[in-house]
Structure 1
């Protein structure tokens, strides 16, 4: 009993260790919270081979549920296939148990290997990797962080002895190079789930010691087709699908039919809006019908909306209906059982990268036919399940594509190309492209890396590029961080890098409180721009954490506590990387004129491709690289103080309902002309802005030539007076 209770306590410690895990812990069990755990005691206790401790009674209860999963009857076939083949492909419906059971079977296989192997199981979403780790550890009856764990960028819950590790695909296919090599060297089985156009170099297939299992979402064979609820289609598409979905939710609740509800919305903004509206409507509902518990599941956001706190005694007295709010890409986050109703709006907002203008476009478009099919499969074997499609049936065949485009076709490939170069894959014909990316995107990525001095004359990674690949950052941000070593502003650039990598710390103010929020944010504004403003916010948050409740302080200032906490974690890891590769970290000197100038120089070293100019004095910024026009984002400190600098450096440009540039700092043309690579400037398209910069360069050229002549003369004189032996080469930041 003591061993069993201690094991359960360890699990619960991890389940409640963070807001992210708290939300998922509620989804691990489909019950309504009225079941009591029953502990049994016997003389001959069966031992768990993974940790050597006796199994708990919960393990046996969960085992019965696992054996009822459709995938379970295929266990023997799968284990035989894994034993005799290097690659095994498993295809089946959603919610058949593939994602949770196959990793456990692979762990059993690795436990028998000599030496013992390890399993790496991928998930598309960071949150899905954490959620699956929680679920699998619970079913295996082991402690999360020991035998089972997860490794996501800037957060690892593992030990070197972890036998089953859940990771996001980002860890294998992007810029997180050190983690990738660790996994590659210690893996017995690599499991790829929902790969969506992932790239795998052929060099990896040469390793016969690594087995690969592919889990694919597919439609069951007609011979084995399970019972599936018949969808109810709308006569015509509603003008406002979001409001139609909420009206239908309330109709279902008022009908008295029991069962949890999943609503697939178009975007994460709608998730937040629906969450707030359901909470506000709660007081107007008939208490006899029970309570609606909205649970937001964000596919990309790290900061999850806190759960409602309820009195436990009251909760047991009335029915609680969970309403899971997510988007089509958030389907892997759904673990709740007893889902009886699914509401599907049929559209989604997708972020698509445009390599020509180096910007993300947010497009609202129909979901794919495969996504619509997966939404139906969520109901599983429920005979009373109902799926409501808020679109007509002909919409499925006329407007929906068969599959969603692969991520590799819609994303910025600069980080991925840097990763492939680090893998010594000089030519892309040596890669296995499940779905080939657009040649234009590859060329833009190579061009950007060349401008950043990450490539040598042969197109391979330069020494500077190798150092850049050590950081789990965007290559432009890595370049700025390395340049800060030369300009002696490392401490400040570490904070900036962490703040722009973490989710935005500024929260959307509720209606009617926008001016209050702007007043709060204005306290952190720095005249040098948003990058320095982020430093002020981070320093204020650290001070608040030391003196009083950081969560209350963040609420009072309309800031995200989880985003700022994540920034602290990211900064600490970046410091560790700097120390590991022995890069100098200059002491903090934030606020001095020299330091502010150094920060701008470091930023320009990486973001010289992100320059815009106000062309008419009214805040219409024209990109230097193309003819797109954008305005300051409302979160910008310049926006709040109504100041419009002429030349700016920006971190992000997004095309959506209103074109906007985020995280903006003022620069001067002279500074740009001093730091920009000449071959980049010569390739810029003709424009008035380029003519202005050319005049600046022409003005600076004679001065620079005179200084160079004086320096050469002085060096020659010194060499005559003090002959020197050849000195060792310096590492110069280009």
Structure 2
């Protein structure tokens, strides 16, 4: 097992399973490797297993810390990069940022500073090739970071933490470490993922510094103090299993006959609340029975490499005979649209159907990349969606599930979406503000949502997921109250009444005003 220090969800589950296998089979050898591993912890977990230290072929890296805390690390990183470029003779620069917005801001600021330098300096200023790298960047632009720069040109790569371990770029002699990264953290009480900026761990900081010493001695500039590194940063990153929704992991372990999940040998056990909340959500979906064992639906879900609600949506697509449409909606990697594209392809009732419409139009154009560029669509996202769709199609064939289509009847597709996400139903409260029907949690339509500008806002929606950025934003589709009552009877029922919720509100308001007038009299 390589890169074990990353402690991904699958790594931790595999470690727990392999520990049992090693104990049962004497002929089985397990080698766990990593450049920055907490070897002692792994040794204790595997019952005093031997540790082998293999010296790496890296060069020494000089670490420079800030003397005082940094207020604006984007600005500080830009200044440091320009200073290195002017004062040092050779070697490329790698800057670590937290996400796309910061990377684009840093690249823009760097190009502006370079223009100012060239126009004001009397001496010749060497060229600086500024290269961003993040997951949503088209593949051809990502590949530029590996290409050798022309003579006399220095590369300055601005990256997310993807460049910590996943990428190795030769020629990097200077690393500028801002000390932060973005992490997805799941809150079981709010049933919400929050994408937030956190300080990196000491392990991650050492990985970043190591990037500067691959080909010759280098320098790492840390935009934080030595005290912050020693006392404010965790020694190792928080394992993914302790900060994520455990739905699929629970189904996987249940299918491997692990009945008591609280007793499973995790290296770092997830919070009990996370386990119980995920089990409750699986029961709501119908994947677990009242005894906590897998149902027939649960056995089918575990065979699909998807989040349980997405897998249920796919299986309901078979039942409601709209599997072809749901198969296109399920892949999560999507084309990012401009405002112009959104207007052109928008289906006002659903974000999911808007994405389906984009894919169908692309399919009619023989999956052409130039067509995507003409319509301001992200071709990489669409190609990834096509790839995932093909893989799911193969899995469905092996499960002998026939492909069906509902044609133009999009209501059936919305019902399939509702069957998987009825527990995420929200009711209209304000202009674009909703509240979760069960928890009262506020939810907002994102300005990029197809429902945002549809003219009339639907009373009920179901959302795919809730992400906390500046607000709690949801990706959603309209829902009928009757569907919620039919598909989620443990939460909803329909009152026998001819009036809508808005009419109820209006009547209640009129009664209140009348009562106040009478009281004044």
TM-score > 0.5 by shorter chain = yes
Give the Cα–Cα distance (whole angstroms) in 1 for the partners of residues 21 and 210 of structure 2.
34
Q: Is the 2:406–2:412 Cα contact (8 Å) retained in structure 1?
A: no
**Alpha-carbon contact 1:328-1:348 (below 8 Å) kept:** yes
Moved over 6 A (4+): 122-125, 219-222, 224-227
Shift of 1:599: 1.1
Report deviation, 1:445.
Answer: 1.1
Structure 2 Cα separation of the partners of residues 410 and 633 of structure 1 = 25
Say whether residues 1:590 and 2:407 are aligned partners.
Answer: yes
The structure-2 alpha-carbon separation of the partners of 1:233 and 1:309, relative to structure 1 and needing over 3 Å to count, comes to closer
Match for residue 250 of structure 2?
417
Alignment of 1:89-108 (within 5 A): none
Extract unaligned runs of 5+ from structure 1: 1-119, 126-167, 174-194, 508-516, 682-692, 701-734
Structure 1 residue 398 displacement after superposition:
3.3
SS of equivalent residue, structure 1 residue 378 = helix
Q: Which residue in the other structure is 1:261 paired with? A: 93
**CA 1:427–1:533: 2 relative to 1, 3 Å:** same
Query: Where does residue 62 of structure 2 map in the other structure?
Result: 230
Cα 1:200–1:490, aligned 2, differ >3 Å: closer, same or farther? same
Instruction: Tell me the SS of whatever aligns to 2:287.
Output: coil
Q: Does 1:446 align with 2:291?
A: no
The question of 1:271 aligning with 2:103 is answered yes
Out of 31, 34, 39, the residue aligned to residue 213 of structure 1 is 31
Tell me whether 1:564 sits opposite 2:396 in the alignment. no
Distance in structure 2 (CA, Å) of the matches to 1:284 and 1:575:
54
**1-side partners of 2:64 and 2:3: how far apart?**
34
Tell me the equivalent position of 1:603.
Answer: 417
Confirm whether residue 675 of structure 1 aligns to residue 487 of structure 2: yes
Equivalent residue for 2:231, pick from 398, 403, 415: 398
Contact 1:296-1:325 within 8 A present in 2 as well: yes
Instruction: Give the equivalent residue in structure 2 for 1:487.
Output: 320
Confirm whether residue 320 of structure 1 aligns to residue 153 of structure 2: yes
Number of the residue aligned with 2:241: 408
- Could you say which residue in structure 1 is the equivalent of 2:176? 343
TM-superposed deviation, 1:494 = 0.7
Match of 2:207 in 1: 374
- Measured against aligned partners, the alpha-carbon deviations of 1:678-734 in whole angstroms (never above 9, x if no partner) come to 2xx1xxxxxxxxxxx54x15679xxxxxxxxxxxxxxxxxxxxxxxxxxxxxxxxxx
> Residues of 1 paired with 2:231 and 2:249: CA distance?
34
What is the root-mean-square deviation of aligned Cα atoms in Å?
3.3
Distance in 2, matches of 1:199 and 1:269, equals 36
Distance 1:249-1:524 versus aligned 2 partners, 3 A rule: same
Determine if the alignment matches structure 1 residue 612 to structure 2 residue 426.
yes
Superposition map of 1:147-226 within 5 A: 173=10, 195=11, 199-201=15-17, 202-205=19-22, 206-208=24-26, 210-216=28-34, 217-218=36-37
Kept in 1: contact 2:426–2:437 (CA 8 A): yes
Per the TM alignment, residue 321 of structure 1 is displaced from its structure 2 partner at its CA by: 2.2
Q: How many residues align?
A: 477
Distance in 2, matches of 1:554 and 1:615, equals 37
**SS of residue paired to 1:532:** helix
Q: Using the TM superposition, give the Cα deviation of residue 436 of structure 1 relative to its aligned residue in structure 2, in angstroms.
A: 0.7
**Inter-partner Cα distance in structure 1 for 2:340 and 2:25:** 59
Q: Is 1:198–1:434's contact at 8 Å kept on the other side of the alignment?
A: no
Distance change >3 Å, CA 441–CA 219, structure 1 → 2 = closer
> What whole-Å deviation, never above 9, does each CA across 1:384-435 have from its counterpart, x for those lacking one?
5221111222222332222221110011111111111121211225632111
Alpha-carbon distance, 1:326 to partner: 2.3
Q: CA deviation at 1:278?
A: 4.7
Partner SS for 1:456: coil
349, 353, 356: which is aligned to 1:532?
A: 353
Cα separation, partners in 2 of 1:386 and 1:622, compared to 1, 3 Å: same
CA–CA separation in structure 1 for the residues paired with 2:137 and 2:438: 32
> 1:645 corresponds to which residue?
458
Q: CA deviation at 1:525?
A: 1.2
Contact preservation (8 Å) 1:613, 1:623: yes
1:37 aligned residue: none
Task: Note the alpha carbon deviations across 1:517-552, whole angstroms, 9 max, x for none.
Answer: 323211111132111111110011112335xxx333
Aligned residue for 1:211, secondary structure, equals: coil
Deviation of 1:469 (Å): 1.1
Structure 2: distance between partners of 1:266 and 1:315: 25
Deviations 1:217-270 (A, max 9, x none): 148999x89874332222322322112112211221122421111111123432
Contact kept, 8 Å, 2:250 with 2:261, in 1: the verdict is: no
Q: In 1, distance between residues paired with 2:351 and 2:215?
A: 52
Q: State which of 642, 654, 660 in structure 1 corresponds to 2:473.
A: 660
In the alignment, what sits opposite 1:520?
A: 341
**Which consecutive unaligned segments of at least 5 residues does structure 2 have?**
40-51, 499-521
Asked if 1:506 is matched to 2:336, the reply is yes
Q: Secondary structure at the match of 2:236?
A: coil
**Bigger CA radius of gyration:** 1
Measured against aligned partners, the alpha-carbon deviations of 1:134-168 in whole angstroms (never above 9, x if no partner) come to xxxxxxxxxxxxxxxxxxxxxxxxxxxxxxxxxx9
1: distance between equivalents of 2:319 and 2:251? 23
Deviation at 1:362, TM superposition (A): 2.5
Give the distance between the partners of 2:117 and 2:364, measured in 1 at CA: 43
Shift of residue 475 of structure 1?
0.4
The 10-residue stretch of structure 1 (358-367 or 435-444) with the greater mean CA deviation from structure 2: 358-367
| DSSP 3-state at the match of 1:336 | coil
Provide the TM-score with structure 1 as the length reference: 0.60
Going from structure 1 to structure 2, the CA distance change for 1:573 and 1:280 (only over 3 Å counts) comes to farther
Q: Does the CA-based 8 Å contact 2:129-2:154 persist in structure 1?
A: yes
